[in-house]
Amino acid sequence: MMRRLLPRPGLSVALFLLWAVLTNAASFATLLLGALLALLLPFIVSPFWPDALRVSRPGVAVKFAARIGWDMLLANWAVARRVVGPVAKLHPAFVEVPLDLRDPFAATVLGSIVSLTPGTVSIDVDRERWVLQVHALDAPDPEMLVQQIKQHYEQPIKEIFRC
């Protein structure tokens, strides 16, 4: 019964919160409209909505998000300095990160995080070999960068989604 009324509870909650944030929760009427949309939209999108993974360790996820925020600040600073400094001395490199993840959604999350932390942009996820192709602005030691991405980002993602 619950499943029939709420095919995707997570999506409904996310939609409602997003609506509340967008409208600054202005009045009861707007919240009611938001609730209505949150109930109806999942029915419309569910035929083509991919199955997202469940977050099985919310505590780890929150800590991970905080770490990414901090990493983004540090990395922004590091890249800003390089951009202003001597550009010719940079060591840009294509780096291939072999993945232990085997889930397209988790791999997309990892790729996005790698792109958001400045200094690295993910180019492609090869789903046949499970390799994440990354371009680094300045990587004198590519092997270290691979280890860093695997330890700092891939490991927690595996833990959070348990995949």
Partner 1 sequence: MNPAVEFLVASLILLGALFALLGSVGLARLPDFFTRLHGPTKATTLGVGATVLASAVFFTATQPGLSLHEIAVMVFLFITAPVSAHLLAKAALHRGKDGSND
Interface positions with partner 1 (CB under 8 A): 18, 20-25, 72-73, 76, 79-80, 83-84, 87-88, 90, 92, 94, 111-112, 114-116, 118-119, 121-124, 135, 137
CB of 5 to partner 1, least distance (A): 26
CB of 92 to partner 1, least distance (A): 5
CA gap 40, 38 in Å, rounded: 6
CB of 37 to partner 1, least distance (A): 15
φ and ψ at 121, to 5 degrees? -130, 130
CB of 10 to partner 1, least distance (A): 15
- Of 5 and 69, the one with the shorter C-beta distance to partner 1 is 69
User: Of 104, 122, 102, 103, which Cα lies nearest the Cα of 112?
Assistant: 122
- Of 6 and 137, the one with the shorter C-beta distance to partner 1 is 137
Residue 142 neighbours by CB under 8 Å, 6+ apart: 93, 95, 136
- Of 100 and 124, the one with the shorter C-beta distance to partner 1 is 124
Contact between 108 and 68 under an 8 Å Cβ cutoff? The reply is no
Sheet holding 120-126, edge to edge: 93-98, 131-136, 120-126
